[in-house]
Amino acid sequence: MAAVVAATALSGCYVVPMQPIGQATPPAQAIAVMPAGPIAQTFAARLYPSNAEAAPYGTVAGVVTNDMNGRGHFSAVIGGEQFQGEATRVAGSQRGGIANASGARGGILSCRYTMNSPTLGTGSCVLNSGPAFTMHIGD
């Protein structure tokens, strides 16, 4: 009797495949998306000691990222201290700029630079404790 009840209860159920056998799902379409604005450029910055206080640090490597809207980000490590800050163009100048960064241990790095081409520039940087550097931007 139990078998008859179970067979009767299940007789109204059947399995319907969600996708017919042998048909593959079409592949997803790739869509290219263009960035909304100019693409940022990243440049190497090298700071060379230009006074006796900077000599112990040797050549310092930094990075400048230009967001292509007149400003960017500036970072360097000097004497084990990480400096992070901004770089902006001087008002009314297409080539001149200022970069300032604060250090993780309280140091302040102030730089002035001139871009000699879209990818190359020169300038100078001074730490608030006295070391001075000559800066070269680009490769």
Judged against a pLDDT cut of 70, whether residue 35 lies above it is answered with no
Q: Which of 104, 60, 66, 107 is nearest to 86 (CA)?
A: 66
**Predicted local distance difference test score (pLDDT) of residue 36:** 63
What percentage of the chain exceeds 90 in pLDDT? 54
Helices and strands counted in the chain (H then E): 1, 8
Q: Which of 139, 89, 133 is nearest to 115 (CA)?
A: 89
pLDDT band at 4 (very low <50, low <70, confident <90, very high): very low
pTM score > 0.85 for this model?
no
